[in-house]
Amino acid sequence: MKNSRWLIVLAGCLFALAIGCAKKEEPAAAGEAVPTAAAPAFDRAIGTASVSGKVSFQGTPPAPPQIKMNADAACVAMHKEPVYAEDIVVTNGMLENVFVYVKEGLEKYTFAVPADPVVIRQEGCRYVPHVSGAMVNQKIKLVNNDPTPHNIHCWAEKNPQFNIGQPLKGMATEKTFTVPEVMIHFRCDVHKWMSSYLGILPHPYFGITGREGTFLLKDLPPGEYVIEAWHEKYPAQTQKVTLGDRETKVVDFTFKAS
């Protein structure tokens, strides 16, 4: 009889232990929202609001200057056609390389950092891409894909600066930035025309315009936001937008020729 009672107690303990294990939380996936102590729970996977738009250019854009690579024969050999600067690129009235992001409105949330690094390549004696974005503490992988020496000169203002040489093809350097900063400028001192910009944010809501001039910030929770459009040659522009559940708002920006 006593043995039976002990078996019943043991079974009850095992059952309670199994329930406890079943309730164990899984770690957040990359880009998934993790609520702060004072914030309501929000899973980015179930955000239903979005902001879309386009960035146009008004007026006659300046002709992009041709990049002279004659100082390095290896750079010249990698291009059959002329190479032009990427600081102002307008295609069919749309402005490329504009960094569009949520500037305000997500302060009560924190987000899991993606495991995959953002890769910036030194390729054809240019930085590729010209504009990119990443999250705070996300790995940034800078790679030399050229058969000629480069160096990575980081001109950050809020994060530590660095200057690292990459004399051999295939060399890679990994860095992380711990403070939000829009934008961080990279240069190559060996080839003065090489330039790239990286936006560091505490969240994953950003986009970079291409030939169509469009952007999309999706899976946002309902709320009030400030959206900013940043360009390296023109003053940044901001607009406010209020989003409800499952609502999509269009926010367009126009930059004007100087």
Over residues 225-239, the pLDDT tens digits come to 999 999 999 999 999
Spatial distance between the Cα atoms of 38 and 31, rounded to a whole number of angstroms: 20
Asked if residue 251 has pLDDT above 50, the reply is yes
φ, ψ of residue 2 to 5 degrees: the values are -65, -40
Question: Position 81: which residue type?
Answer: E
What is the strand order of the sheet 118-122 is part of? 127-128, 118-122, 140-144, 172-175
- Please tell me the least confidently modeled range out of 13-27, 104-118, 168-182: 13-27
Over residues 23-65, the pLDDT tens digits come to 333 434 444 444 333 343 344 445 889 999 999 999 999 999 9
The mean pLDDT of the chain is: 86
Asked if residue 148 has pLDDT above 90, the reply is yes
Helix (H/G/I), strand (E/B), else coil: 20: helix
Other residues' Cβ atoms within 10 Å of the Cβ of residue 5: 9
Helix (H/G/I), strand (E/B), else coil: 17: helix
pLDDT value of position 47: 81
Q: Which residue has the tokens 């390549």?
A: 121
Q: What residues contact residue 26 under an 8 Å CB cut-off, 6+ apart?
A: none
Q: State the pLDDT confidence band at 11, using cuts at 50, 70 and 90.
A: very low
The mean per-residue pLDDT over the stretch 139-159 comes to 97
pLDDT value of position 40: 39
Cα-Cα-Cα-Cα dihedral sign, residues 219, 220, 226, 232 = negative
pLDDT value of position 46: 55
pLDDT value of position 160: 97
Q: Domain of 101: which CATH number?
A: 2.60.40.420
The mean per-residue pLDDT over the stretch 18-22 comes to 40
Asked if residue 14 has pLDDT above 70, the reply is no
Residue 68 lies in a domain: yes
Over residues 90-104, the pLDDT tens digits come to 999 999 999 999 999
pLDDT value of position 22: 39
pLDDT value of position 255: 98
pLDDT value of position 32: 46
Spatial distance between the Cα atoms of 109 and 44, rounded to a whole number of angstroms: 10
Residue 28 lies in a domain: no
Residue 8 lies in a domain: no
Residue 165 lies in a domain: yes
pLDDT value of position 19: 39
Residue 227 lies in a domain: yes
Spatial distance between the Cα atoms of 16 and 198, rounded to a whole number of angstroms: 50
Asked if residue 188 has pLDDT above 60, the reply is yes
Full domain range(s) for residue 160 = 33-256
- Structural domains counted in the chain: 1
Residue 225 lies in a domain: yes
Give the pTM: 0.83
Residue 13 lies in a domain: no
